Structure 1
Amino acid sequence: MSSWLPVSPCTPPGCATHVGPVRHPVPAAALLLAGCALALAGALCVPLALLLGRAHRGRLTRAWAYRVVRSFGVRVCVVGRAEAHRGGPGVLVAANHVSWLDIPLVAAVFPGRMLAKSDVRRWPLLGPLAALGGTLFVERDRLRALPTTVRVLASALRGGARAVVFPEGSTWCGRGPGGRFRPAVFQAAIDADAAVQPVRIRYFAAPPGSREPAGAAAFVGDDPLTASLWRVVRAAGLTAEIHILPRIPAGSLHDRRALAGLAQSTVASDRANLPAESVHH
């Protein structure tokens, strides 16, 4: 098995179950329709948004992405503050990966060009939206295409763009340490002399204030997207937390493996403090 094709041990039956209050199917169906409608509206408006300047487009994207997450019945909690871009090379945003919700959640804070597996292109609604938004799709089973992907990513960063990556290479349920950050994408940051912005994503269930990871948000294994969508809108009291961690300055490390390891340890820094019952086995 190639290191670029990581496999998560998480499965829908073992990791994506919901414990807690649930919504009646009728309001849940209303949320599902609202969320899908807003996602579709965003996809249709992308060509017009591309005519705007980068700053205006960023503000519009953040507002829309936030509303997408909220329209599916999920609260949003942002911890920390994003640093303003002051010109020069862009920033590589590196986040752990739990759910399809990660995409609009990160875009609500860090709109930018995303790197995603080619399967995402075929997702209903989110796939066409991602393509129109400039997502760079990776054929994970074609390793010879990886150097080209890194060059394109580095070129975007040199041009001042913000790029968003999920270096674990697969989704993990969020109840354990997660996957190892693959180093290839960090070579793009080194080549472009770009900073790395680590981001931690977590989903919690009701009651308010609970720190128990929410299985309903996990989109793992061979879970169908439709099943995951329905599980999310049925789960009452879900909260999505995005934690903006200290930025790794450009030029701090010149070895991609060391840079990947530093970003990974930054994202996972307090996972060891999770209660024992929440740790994934």
Structure 2
Amino acid sequence: MPVSPCGDGCLTSGAPTVAFPRRVLRIAGAVGVVLTALAASPLLMVARVREPLVRWIFRSVLRAFGVRLLVHGGDEFRHDEAGRGALVVNNHISWLDIVAVNALRPMRALAKKEIASWPVLGGLVARGGSIFLDRERLSTLPGTVAELAAALRGGSLVSVTPEGTTWCGLATGRFAPAAFQAAIDGGVPVRPLALRYRLADGRETTQPAFIGPESLIDSLRRVARLRGLVLEVFVCEEIAPGRAADRKELAALAESAVHSALGTVHAPRHTRVVPVAQPEPRPAPAV
């Protein structure tokens, strides 16, 4: 299984923080959103209201933690017709990734089975139709890929984090090809998303990263104390079915698109990715 070398030493310093009472209010607000979502879960069975409700839930989680979401490009993706399946892949930094992707456009997810037991997001992810992967029993992987392909073929958008684990953001992992086989089998495009976390003054930060042996609660507390956190999402061009010869090439194309959007060096396998200087991104409307 992929193992990230990122740990406490990867956390950037100097991030502004909010006072303790504000942190408590943020956690309480997020819990309130989740409880509201659970109470409204019967409405998820109504197709007409499902997507607006899910989008509201995840955007409300971002607002509760004081996170500003900026989306670059992808207007056609955000307003694409329902019933058109696609494999949506992104670099994996934080539990906030799940929130951001669904705030952009609600979709199913391929997730490790442990997420189902998470106290804040687990219930929402499970009720959203997630496909769970048992990473302790890789013999089940072919069946999971087949289930994923069937969902894509049936018109679902499914979010996958092909790095297989979280990284700090300044370093990244390789995109494993297994899930991309489902896109090939399902005959659907791949839509890469590139995520980056920065502060209001423009500095990139690794503080939201879910790294090392820490618990979800520890990560929630660290995010709750940040002031002016900005989560940027770059929507890359979709990779059409048939463009890649096989799943390895398809994974490489998606990985390259993410690095290009973020302005990072595409490093050889088994090495870290080092960010390079790039111009300040053009302003984008808050979502």
1:139 aligns with 2:134: yes
1:9 aligned partner, one-letter code? P
* Alignment RMSD (CA, Å): 1.7
Residues 15, 218 of structure 1: 8 Å contact kept: no
Q: Deviations over 1:195-215 (max 9, x none)?
A: 0000001110232xx1x3222
1:231 aligns with 2:233: no
Looking at structure 2, the residues matched to 266 and 189 of structure 1 have their Cα atoms a distance apart, in angstroms, of: 17
Number of aligned positions between the proteins? 265
Gaps of 5+ in 1: 277-281
Residues 47, 132 of structure 1: 8 Å contact kept: no
2:100 aligned partner, one-letter code? L
Residue 41 of structure 1 and its aligned partner are, at CA, apart by: 1.8
Looking at structure 2, the residues matched to 43 and 195 of structure 1 have their Cα atoms a distance apart, in angstroms, of: 32
Task: Give me the identity figure in percent.
Answer: 42
Aligned to 1:279: none
Q: Deviations over 1:138-171 (max 9, x none)?
A: 1112111101111111101111110100000000
Comparing 76-85 and 165-174, the one that deviates more: 76-85
Mark the CA change 1:41 to 1:87 in structure 2 (over 3 Å): closer, same or farther: closer
Looking at structure 2, the residues matched to 228 and 74 of structure 1 have their Cα atoms a distance apart, in angstroms, of: 14
1:104 aligned partner, one-letter code? V
Aligned to 1:251: 242
2:132 aligned partner, one-letter code? F
Mark the CA change 1:188 to 1:89 in structure 2 (over 3 Å): closer, same or farther: farther
Aligned to 2:96: 101
Q: Deviations over 1:218-260 (max 9, x none)?
A: 1112111111111111111110111101111122114000000
Q: Deviations over 1:49-77 (max 9, x none)?
A: 12234xx4222222221121121111111
Instruction: After the TM superposition, list the runs of 4 or more consecutive aligned residues in structure 1 that deviate by more than 6 angstroms.
Output: none
Where 2:192 maps in the other structure, the secondary structure is: strand
Aligned to 1:191: 185
Residue 46 of structure 1 and its aligned partner are, at CA, apart by: 2.4
Pick from 41, 44, 52: which aligns with 1:59?
52
Aligned to 1:201: 195
Aligned to 1:165: 160
Gaps of 5+ in 2: 266-274, 279-287
Residues 193, 235 of structure 2: 8 Å contact kept: yes
Pick from 53, 71, 78: which aligns with 2:64?
71
Residue 37 of structure 1 and its aligned partner are, at CA, apart by: 1.4
